[in-house]
Amino acid sequence: MKRIINKYRLASLFTLLVLSSCSDEFLNAPSETQLTPTDLPEGITAFDGIAETMYFEPWFTFNDKFLIAVGDMYAGNIYSVDGAYQQFRDAQVTAQNPILTEGYVSLFSVVDQANNLMSLVEDRKDELPAEDYNSLMGLSRFMRANAYFFLVRSFGAVPIVDGINTEPQPKRNLVDDVYRFIKSDLQFAAENLPDVAVKRGFVTKEVAKGVLAKVHLTLGEYAECASLTEEIIGGQYSLVDQFGNLFNSPENNNSSESMFALQWISLATVWGTQNTNQAYIVPFGSGITGGQDGWGVYLPSISLQQEYVDEDRRKKATIMEDGDIYPELLSSQGGFTYEKNLSVTAANFRKYIVGSAAERSDVFFMKTSQNTIILRYADILLMHAEAKLAGGSSTSDPSALNAFNEVRMRAGLPTKTVLTREELFKERRAEFALEGQYFFDLKRRGISEAISIISEQEVGFYSDLDRTELVSVKITPSANYFELPIPQSAINTNPSLLEQPVPYNFN
């Protein structure tokens, strides 16, 4: 990838590049709207354009609501009374839920765009240096693998659309085969992506190894996970000093801790390139955005609030509680002091709030350029510790303790000499709240254990302004809770999705 698009040229390219993602056709044949070199302005190759947009455009509606709704709200980290979110809050998501549909379509758009880029690169292989060819193919397969990793963990069996041997009405494939397909893509990416990012924020061999390590961990393949995380620890990635800088200041995007992040671009006149999360997170009525957005849709559940101790430095950077002062927000007014009556759970989130247009030139209505981090180095450290636990109740393994304690020390918490399973997952919940991880962490613990944990969580609200009168709510999910339903609109388009999953042809 010798030439990379300047981000300020993306506005003019967006209309063209959006053609490379699929719409309703994602359930049928591969997209017929694949870009060709003649579609793009002089001086910009289709490789440059599609590769750049792979980091944001097809992921937009996945990030807009789905990631947090599934990863956090569905598992009890978030309370909400807003529309379709209530089904996730109550663990009663139906096939008609629009958030469910948007996420499903978005993830298959990632698959489709990855397949399109591979097809285009393959067609022009003779014109490309081997290094560029390998890197582009590696990026494509990396992105496709990540989309399928979210799909299989959320929905279970899904169709494998490889862009080559796809049936017009593809059936779902076996879960084991979907994971095998993901591993194959990530192994290829780990061998063919660059050692060092060709542009700040672009993925590398180590990033592919990091995602592959999480796949192994999800499958209980602890030795494989530990081996990969050992290769990454102490390498080119490291923890940043200030936890909050990862989420509240776009100038700190693509830090030493960020490994794979969605690269949002906030432009006044373009929709679908930006991060919308701030609009849903900012406390309603606080005026923090300086505009008409800021609706407080996502509220920290009482259960999540109870997960933090006061000494935890992550707490104030993650959750606003009564009396917390944030001088960097509403700075022209002397800062923002949080009051608990802004929320029925007596708290709001702080993560992913960057401020107002008065404070930043890249903030508009429902638009910021704050990256969404999908994988960061702290996860590598905690995955390594979990892999060394290997499903056991505790460990004194030195490498597990070193990795775990590195995250603890950044949070200002005392180190451990013995690591228990409960402490590991408690740490993950505090570290990754509002990052779309909690549901998948619970699922990794096993169905019976996860149901027990969820059933004990307090996810109610306070009915008075003083926030003292608790209306207790606890959710007991059913066994099928751990696989979300395939969206009804997808089934309407492709009824074969209702049939039993079939093996994938790897030949």
Q: Which two tokens stand for residue 257?
A: 């801790």
Average pLDDT over residues 297-302: 98
CA pair distance 184, 212, nearest whole angstrom: 10
Instruction: Give the CATH number for residue 170.
Output: 1.25.40.390
CA pair distance 78, 101, nearest whole angstrom: 20
DSSP 149: H
129 within a domain of the structure (yes/no): yes
pLDDT in tens, 461-504: 999 999 999 999 999 998 789 999 999 999 999 999 999 999 99
335 within a domain of the structure (yes/no): no
237 within a domain of the structure (yes/no): yes
336 within a domain of the structure (yes/no): no
For 132, phi then psi, to 5°, come to -65, -40
Percent of the chain exceeding pLDDT 70 equals 91
Which of 240, 375, 255 lies closest to 313 in space, CA to CA?
Answer: 240
318 within a domain of the structure (yes/no): no
CA pair distance 481, 402, nearest whole angstrom: 35
Residues 6 or more apart from 309 whose CB is under 8 A from it?
Answer: 315, 413
pLDDT in tens, 184-239: 999 999 999 999 998 899 999 999 999 999 999 999 999 999 999 999 999 999 99
- Tallying the residues shown for the chain, one arrives at 507
- What range does the domain containing 247 cover? 7-252
Average pLDDT over residues 277-282: 98
41 within a domain of the structure (yes/no): yes
317 within a domain of the structure (yes/no): no
For 470, phi then psi, to 5°, come to -80, 130
For residue 26, the model assigns a pLDDT of 38
pLDDT above 60 for 399: yes
For residue 163, the model assigns a pLDDT of 84
Q: pLDDT class for 128, splitting at 50, 70, 90?
A: confident
CA pair distance 116, 51, nearest whole angstrom: 11
Looking at the structure of the chain, the number of domains it has is 1
pLDDT above 70 for 19: no
CA pair distance 351, 68, nearest whole angstrom: 12
277 within a domain of the structure (yes/no): no
